[in-house]
Structures are given as C-alpha cells and as structure tokens.
Amino acid sequence: MRNRFERYSSRTRVLQFSVTAVPFLLCLASSLRAQETEPNMPIRTNAKDGADFRWLHNKVLDSRVLDSTHQ
C-alpha cells in the first residue's frame, strides 16, 4: 500500500500534466481549425494607390540632358 506522500506526488504529477496539456491541446485544436478554411481570392489592388502610379504622375520640376551626343 502506498503512503500519503506517494499518493500526493502522483496526484500532483497528473495535475501538472493536465494543467500543461489542456492549453496545449486547445491551441493545437484552434490552429488545426484555422487550417480547414480555404483562402479567399486575392484582394484586388487599386492602381492609383501604388508607388508606380505616383512616380509616373509626379510633376517634373526640372529636366536636363544627360547625354548630349544624341541630339
């Protein structure tokens, strides 16, 4: 027959295991559930919000010829 200390230590081990295992299993289940859904179609971009549009439509303040051989 086990003494009180042995019973207490086995109970605490089970409790410690359950305290760590339950949150881990909940996190695992939620991450697996998140993987079940299919991704939505990619978001369509607005061309006027992009950097290329802004660069091409900047006002030119000054210009100069870099190579004068092709005039």
Does some domain include residue 6?
Answer: yes
pLDDT tens digits for 19-57? 787 888 887 777 766 656 676 778 788 889 999 999 999
On whether residue 5 sits in a domain, the answer given is yes
Q: Is residue 28 part of a domain?
A: yes
State the pLDDT at residue 41: 78
How many structural domains is the chain composed of?
1
Task: Assess if residue 58 is contained within a domain.
Answer: no
CB 71 within 8 A of CB 65: yes
Cβ contacts of 65 within 8 Å, gap of 6 or more: 71
pTM over 0.85: no
Residue 27 lies in a domain: yes
Range of the domain at 3: 1-36
